[in-house]
Amino acid sequence: MGQLIISDLDGTLLDHHSYDWRPAEDALAAARAAGVPVVLCTSKTRAETHWWQRELGLEGMPCIVENGGAVAWGTSEVEGLGVPYGQLRQVLRECAVEADCPVRGFGDMGLEEVMRLCELPADQAERARQREWDEPFVVDQDPEGLLVAIRKRGLSWSRGGRFYHIHGKNDKAESARRVIARFGRRGPVVSMGLGDGLNDATFLQVVDIPVLMPSATIEALRRMVPQGRVAAAPGPEGWAAAVLAFLAEAGIDQ
């Protein structure tokens, strides 16, 4: 029986504020040494996610980007599942007018604003702006009317740790299913998923072992994924403990 790890980034493998991942370094090395794939599943762009794969030693692995808008099978094969970015931007503008709810999407923001809101340096913020299938946005009032208008147009929305997002009917779950199925061609796999945001709930519901990272939304996430295990700590410390326990349960020496 093989093992597979599917993980969110911000607030999960990365510290929510500092983006530090070093407390998870030993656990990442243990998974790599055991040949256990770690697939990133994030709202980040392809450009951002490939950069993080290099930083984390996960080059060549598949990754799920922009809330399931696409699965990148390495750096050359991209399976797009979402609605093109320009179309999302147009619909968001229409919905904002209809709902009388002003919004600011990434496409409305300059580099410095993205840097401030995401707490990112300039190079990483520039990669975050390279959207293809998902538009993060902020609102300063109750967005219910806006979200209803999005749904009326056949699109979807989700909420992550920092932003609301408009996207197609794609979600992290469908992309995770495709990743699990492809790795399952080699033989049966046990999948573990780790996430902290409400937009992680869908993919956490399709893995064998869902791990919920402590955060401000943990109670809501527990209601959405009642079978989930709660990690011992938030961010990379809790991620490391959960991954090492998963490897130990599989009988993998560390």
Secondary-structure percent of the chain, ordered helix, strand, coil, rounded to 5: 45, 20, 35
Dihedral in degrees, nearest 10, Cα atoms 223, 227, 233, 239: -120
Cβ neighbours of 17 (radius 10 Å) = 10
Q: Single out the catalytic residue among 8, 134, 196, 200.
A: 8
Burial class (CB in 10 A: 0-12, 13-18, 19+), 60: exposed
Give the 3-state secondary structure of residue 192. Answer: strand
8 is catalytic: yes
Residues 6+ apart with CB under 8 A from 205: 173, 224, 225
Alpha carbon separation from 36 to 154, 208, 239 (Å, rounded): 38, 15, 15
Are 45 and 72 in contact, with CB atoms under 8 Å apart? Answer: no
User: Hey, which residues are catalytic here?
Assistant: 8
